[in-house]
Amino acid sequence: MVAGSAAGAQEFRARPATDETIYFLLPDRFENGDAGNDRGGMKGSRLQHGFDPASKGFYLGGDLKGLVQRLDYIQGLGATAIWLGPIYKNKPVQGAKGQESAGYHGYWITDFTSVDPHFGTEADMRAFVEAAHARGMKVYLDIITNHTADVIAYRECPDTSCAYRSRADYPWKRKGGPQGEPINELFRGDAPEQLTPENFAGLTDPRWAYSPFVPRGEEKAKTPAWLNEPIFYNNRGDSTFTGESKIYGDFVGLDDLMTTHPRVVAGMIEIYGGWIDRFGIDGFRVDTARHVNPEFWQAFVPAMLERAKARGIPNFHIFGEVADPNVATLARFTRVDDFPAVLDFGFQQAVMDVVAGNKAPDVLATLFSNDALYAGGAEQLPTFLGNHDMGRFSTFVRKANPEAGDAEQLARVKLAHAMLMLLRGVPTIYSGDEQGFVGDGIDQDSREPLFPSKVAVYNDNRLLGTSATTAQANFDVTHPLYLHIAALAKLRAAEPSLRRGGQRLLQADEAPGLFAVARRLPEGNRAPFIETIVAFNTSAKPLKANLMIDARIDVTKSLWGRCAMPSAPGTMPVEIEPFGVLVCAGAVAVQ
């Protein structure tokens, strides 16, 4: 059994967010510990209960009991925190006739207060959190405040999606356009200074753009009960993901909550504060953060931090999903919306460009040169290589380098994981990456289960580093990627500078080749060590070069690879194999 020490289990909440290594999983796609809940206690066909183990778009059977059974595996990889995909009760199946799929992923919530029965019970959730905490592991929940499941319909377009209707063309105070009958006469709009309960008391008729209604039989589909009222939704049709529709439009048909409404703000604080109170959750990953107005986050984020603090959780980690690699866009959410951190899509793009796309490593230098834009710095940004939406890093590597053999592809994926684990930020590993999964593309095509799959389009995938397929269980602790990540995690755990240290650029070549940084704690590394030198070879050829280092360093200790002694004050020769890594501790010689 791999378990944390008793002291570690007691002290896990004292760890800052920067110390974690996160493992992200969708519970339906990890391990099936209880076949009895595969249909969520529902009868009928797959269109009623959502379970079809042969279809990538339906529930496959993973659950919370299975997750508890595999905690050894996750902890053995070196993960210290589990980011759990949404576990709330979902609408089992939705979609137009012939295009149905299931809510196995968890983002179509109907009951924000309960565990989806496909995943287990509240007791199962409590058992999982307690088992993780007993090992000194944290639990981060994936939360959604932007939307609910698709329940509300519009009379104007009952059989098709509804086009977005803007606030200018369809103002709040007229029914169906500027020439429509007056409605909501006491409502003064939703400018930031008007976001008060008194103003929104004047918003009573939701028919400003469309005529929304709840279909017969679904009047009480959502919990808490206030979520069943159309007045708490924007009701403007599908987002085009441009302009104001990014905030006010339905996310691919999902019911878009009016997050400017004080009742919605208070309701979401109540909902997710309850999960902290009931289970002692350690953090939130916030879905679709960019599609919610800043004023919502300015109220919600501090409320969650206070709720956690009152529960005895001082290092509660909140990070938003802002799906954009532009650093200025990402950083704005830490400065305007008050997020402590956001998922680092900029890091993902830069590593993909350099390691998969063969761009020069100065792309990474440009990325890190903008770290100061983030409020509080970039150290607690969760970094990642791929995920359940955009696809797996191994897929990017294979598509960008179709002529490369499996050995080179595996080497590139190993290099990317070394960057993930050794550079600044909080490394986040997507479940299955450590088993060499190579998906066919984005979304459903990158959501293979680790337990034996019956999905044909998963089972024909050619994995990296193994002869296995997804048709068998893939919890192989001897897989080369599992071993590689575990070794990097062990190094990161042993060297505080790799978790909390600042990052200083040493070298970034203008063609595939050397990229090197120094990691140093604010107070200096453990004497006599000054800093940790981390160097990567992003090219397919062996690398020999001189690396500029701190002139005080005259002794090095090899932490990964073979480090040479400085050849003169301020310079050190390095030799790194193709797609290789070198980690050295630099010290002043003891006189």
Catalytic residues: 287, 321
* Residue 394 CA: distances (Å) to CA of 249, 448, 531: 34, 13, 32
Q: How many residues does the chain have?
A: 591
3-state DSSP assignment of residue 259: coil
Measure the CA–CA gap between 312 and 465, rounded to whole angstroms: 43
Beta bridge partners of 556: 586
Measure the CA–CA gap between 319 and 329, rounded to whole angstroms: 14
Radius of gyration of the chain from Cα atoms? 25
Measure the CA–CA gap between 497 and 551, rounded to whole angstroms: 19
User: Is residue 12 packed enough to be buried (19+ CB in 10 Å), middle (13-18) or exposed (0-12)?
Assistant: buried
Distance spanning both ends of the chain, measured CA to CA: 45
Quickly count helices (H) and strands (E) in the chain: 17, 23
Taken in order 190, 196, 199, 200, the sign of the CA dihedral is positive
Measure the CA–CA gap between 501 and 585, rounded to whole angstroms: 13
Helices (H), 423-535: 456-459, 480-494, 496-500
CB crowding 331-344: b at 16 or more within 10 Å, else e: bbbbeebbbbbbbb
Give how far the C-alpha of residue 411 lies from the chain's centroid of Cα atoms, to the nearest Å. 24
Residue with tokens 């797959």: 46
User: Is residue 219 packed enough to be buried (19+ CB in 10 Å), middle (13-18) or exposed (0-12)?
Assistant: exposed
Taken in order 233, 237, 239, 242, the sign of the CA dihedral is negative
The pair of three-digit structure tokens given for residue 279, joined into one six-digit string: 């289970």
576: part of which helix (H) or strand (E)?
strand 571-576
Give how far the C-alpha of residue 406 lies from the chain's centroid of Cα atoms, to the nearest Å. 28
State the number of CA atoms in the 13 A half-sphere of 32 facing the CB.
Answer: 18
State the number of CA atoms in the 13 A half-sphere of 144 facing the CB.
Answer: 25
CB crowding 412-440: b at 16 or more within 10 Å, else e: bbbbbbbbbbbbbbbbbbbbbbbbbbbbb
